[in-house]
Amino acid sequence: MLAQQIANGIVLGSIYALSALGFTLVFGAARIVNFAYGEILMIGAFFTVALMGALDIDFFVALPVAMVGVAALSAVLFYVALRPVMKSSHTSLQAELQIILVTLGLLYLLREAAVLIWGTAPRPIEMGVDGIVEIGDVVMTTKRLVVVAVMGVLVLGLYLLLYRTRIGKALRAIAQNREGAAAIGLDADRIIAFVFAISGAMACAAGSLLGTLYAVEPAMGGPPLLKAFVIVIFGGLGSVPGAIVGGLAIGLIETLAGAYVSFAFKDVFAFLALIAVLLLRPAGLFGRPAS
């Protein structure tokens, strides 16, 4: 029973980790809290559904295509909606407030657009993977195992991107020290647009996977955004390992608390864990104390 709950927690945690990764990358590199992130995730899930329906293709074919599409959309949104605001404001407080307003505006814009285009009825995504897997006492649908595997592949890909490529190094440089990056001539706009693209791709994967477990609907972006917030604060703002560990931890805590304590209050335990972490490590599990 315990092993079963832990397995369930890891599945949930994998999706949480994926959604938190895209959110934390943008915060880390651009210091932008993207309130529209949950809607990007939702649009990503709809892209996958729409592609599967229109072209009659498999989930595993549609997902990468949708990820590329959402990556492009996310980068375009940065260039069109956020960059002009960042350029035109003269103080950082002014810029921060305006960016919050713009991402909140995007939140409603994207959600209403989804309602207009796709309607409000929930649509399931058929992954096309059936059957169950038994490992010892643990019984799981193969579909859920695939969710964990997809998360593993994407995390590995992200790691290689950040640590093994030229643009990945530039991205880390910008996240670590904006002024240092400017001094060596790194083009912040281009690199941040790239971060938005990666973030969008991650959100699309998270949303589509959620869609295979539950359903796709215009309102689905709210909870993942809130979760991403909690996880990113829990793991450390802007920290990639923090998002992965934090996502898995919150997934586990919720599942275990839901199974053994009270399903209705499972979210309370996630927040209690958050408070405990912040009391012990104010910058989060993997966060750097502000210098």
CB of 88 to other proteins, least distance (A): 10
Measured from the CB atom, the residue of 142 and 177 that comes closer to other proteins is: 177
Binding residue count for other proteins, defined by CB under 8 A: 19
- Please report, as residue ranges, which positions from 134 to 153 form the binding site for other proteins (by CB under 8 A): none
- Please report, as residue ranges, which positions from 15 to 34 form the binding site for other proteins (by CB under 8 A): none
Beta-bridge mates of residue 133: 140
Measured from the CB atom, the residue of 38 and 242 that comes closer to other proteins is: 242
- Please report, as residue ranges, which positions from 82 to 101 form the binding site for other proteins (by CB under 8 A): 90-91
What are the distances in angstroms from CA 95 to CA 85, 91, 109, 199, 256?
Answer: 7, 6, 21, 21, 41
Binding map of other proteins across residues 164-193, x = CB under 8 A, - = no contact:
--x--xx-xx--xx-xxxxxxxxx------
Measured from the CB atom, the residue of 11 and 174 that comes closer to other proteins is: 174
Measured from the CB atom, the residue of 113 and 186 that comes closer to other proteins is: 186
What is the SS3 string spanning 228-286?
A: HHHHHHHHCCCCHHHHHHHHHHHHHHHHHHHHHCCCCCHHHHHHHHHHHHHHHCCCCCC
CB of 90 to other proteins, least distance (A): 3
- Looking up tokens 């991650």, which residue turns up? 202
Crossing angle of helices 222-235 and 240-260, rounded to 10°: 110
CB of 288 to other proteins, least distance (A): 8
Measured from the CB atom, the residue of 176 and 262 that comes closer to other proteins is: 176
- Please report, as residue ranges, which positions from 197 to 216 form the binding site for other proteins (by CB under 8 A): none
CB of 169 to other proteins, least distance (A): 6
Crossing angle of helices 188-213 and 166-176, rounded to 10°: 100
What pairing do the DSSP bridges indicate for beta strands 132-135 and 138-141? Answer: antiparallel
Q: Does 219 bind other proteins (CB under 8 A)?
A: no
CB of 277 to other proteins, least distance (A): 21
What are the distances in angstroms from CA 135 to CA 23, 132, 256?
Answer: 33, 10, 19
CA 264 to chain centre: 24
Q: What are phi and psi of 139, to 5 degrees?
A: -115, 130
CB of 160 to other proteins, least distance (A): 16
Give the DSSP H/E element, type plus range, for residue 99: helix 92-118
Q: Rg (Cα) of the chain, in Å, rounded?
A: 19
Spatial neighbors of 39 by CB under 8 A, at least 6 apart, are 106, 107, 110, 111, 114, 221
Measured from the CB atom, the residue of 224 and 287 that comes closer to other proteins is: 287
CB of 271 to other proteins, least distance (A): 29
Q: How big is the CA angle at 140 (ends 137 and 142), to the nearest 5 degrees?
A: 140
CB of 180 to other proteins, least distance (A): 3
Would you state the structure tokens that stand for residue 202, as one six-digit string?
């991650």
Measured from the CB atom, the residue of 32 and 240 that comes closer to other proteins is: 240
Q: Which residues contact other proteins by CB under 8 A? A: 90-91, 166, 169-170, 172-173, 176-177, 179-187, 288
